[in-house]
């Protein structure tokens, strides 16, 4: 029973080199909160995908997942198991029933200490290792130590670096300091792609989310990411809508394409479909692809596999039959 498929591009866009700091563009950025709330509330009800299309979208969502473990009790063994899951996120017999070729997740995301174990476990797979950095999750380490951590992760083989911004720059309106901080991070990343984590739940207002997004893109971020997953409020459709519209405005102004990564609290297949719908409606088909869209998640994959099983066999399997990373 072959499913419908969403074509996806493997070609990477030109990286965002950033621009000079433009304070007027930042301070002129405004948010219509009531309009954002209405749009976010209606998005999950306006577009639904069913049957084979839902299965196709869920398979595509797997390709966009940054499969993540950021626990204090992580071990090299934990990371190796997660990497095995990233290489084979869905059981082969289920893929065979669906008539789908093998697939992998978008990346594996770990702490710096676990980068060597992840790089070794993923060798030859083409799956990049993403390292959280710069004093994750609070971002309160000294600046020079943040730069050293980035450089060490890149040297260890991380192909992507998820940095955290200093939230106090946003909360005090020191946009130039934020720009220079993120610009330094971008330079330290070298060839590694940089995702800037805004920690939106700690920025106070949607206007701050919008302005922080603009500054991070001006400073050369390849992706902007909602959250560390450690805040009280993480990815929501409201703050995601503000961020993707900032991406659209930046692309219209500069021609540079910046990716988006919602993270934190995305655990169900239905949520994954909501965020894919958001990207399709607000930014178009290309921004649904793994080179411009990632889902930061750990538990999400298990629910997606259960939904695929229901589509294939007409029943849900017990969670005890779901292979865990």
Helix locations, 219-299, DSSP H: 237-254, 269-282
Candidate list 66, 162, 274, 303, residue with the active-site label:
162
Cβ neighbors of 255 (< 8 A, separation 6 or more) are none
Cβ neighbors of 267 (< 8 A, separation 6 or more) are 297, 299, 300, 303
Distance CA(252)–CA(163), nearest Å, equals 25
Q: Are 268 and 303 in contact (CB under 8 A)?
A: yes
SS3 109: strand
Distance CA(288)–CA(316), nearest Å, equals 27
**Residue 261 is among the residues annotated as catalytic for this protein:** yes
- Which three-class secondary structure string do you get for 30-93? CCCHHHHHHHHHHHHHHCCCCHHHHHHHHHHHHHCEEEECCCCCCCHHHHHHHHHHHHCCCCHH
Candidate list 222, 261, 274, 303, residue with the active-site label:
261
Distance CA(320)–CA(198), nearest Å, equals 36
**Residue 85 is among the residues annotated as catalytic for this protein:** no
Candidate list 146, 195, 225, 257, residue with the active-site label:
225
Q: Which residue has the tokens 């940089």?
A: 194
Residue 310 to residues 17, 37, 173, 207, 302, Cα–Cα distance (Å)? 44, 33, 49, 41, 13
**Residue 162 is among the residues annotated as catalytic for this protein:** yes
SS3 163: strand
Which residues are known to be catalytic?
162, 225, 261
């Amino acid at each position: 029973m072959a499913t419908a498929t969403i074509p996806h591009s493997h070609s990477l866009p030109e990286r965002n080199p950033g621009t000079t700091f433009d304070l007027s563009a930042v301070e002129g950025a405004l948010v219509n909160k009531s309009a954002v709330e209405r749009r976010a509330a209606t998005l999950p009800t306006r577009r639904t995908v069913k049957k084979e299309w839902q299965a196709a979208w869920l398979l595509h969502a797997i390709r966009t997942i940054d499969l993540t473990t950021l626990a204090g009790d992580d071990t090299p063994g934990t990371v190796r198991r997660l990497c095995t899951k990233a290489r084979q996120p869905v059981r082969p017999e289920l893929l065979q029933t669906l008539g789908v070729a093998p697939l992998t997740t978008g990346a594996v995301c770990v702490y710096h200490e676990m980068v060597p174990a992840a790089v070794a476990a993923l060798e030859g797979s083409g799956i990049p290792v993403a390292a959280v950095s710069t004093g994750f999750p609070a971002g309160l380490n000294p600046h020079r130590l943040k730069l050293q951590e980035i450089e060490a992760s890149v040297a260890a083989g991380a192909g992507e670096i998820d940095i955290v911004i200093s939230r106090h720059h946003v909360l005090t309106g020191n946009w130039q300091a934020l720009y220079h901080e993120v610009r330094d991070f971008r330079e330290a990343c070298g060839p590694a792609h940089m995702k800037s984590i805004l920690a939106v739940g700690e920025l106070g207002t949607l206007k701050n989310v919008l302005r922080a997004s603009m500054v991070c893109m001006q400073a050369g971020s390849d992706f902007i990411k909602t959250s560390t997953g450690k805040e009280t409020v993480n990815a929501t459709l409201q703050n995601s809508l503000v961020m993707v519209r900032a991406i659209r405005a930046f692309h219209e102004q500069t021609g540079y394409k910046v990716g988006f990564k919602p993270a934190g609290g995305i655990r169900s297949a239905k949520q994954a479909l909501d965020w894919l719908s958001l990207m399709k409606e607000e930014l178009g088909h290309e921004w649904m692809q793994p080179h411009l869209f990632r889902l930061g998640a750990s538990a999400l994959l298990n629910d997606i596999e259960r939904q695929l099983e229901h589509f294939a066999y007409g029943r849900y399997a017990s969670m005890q039959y779901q292979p865990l990373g």
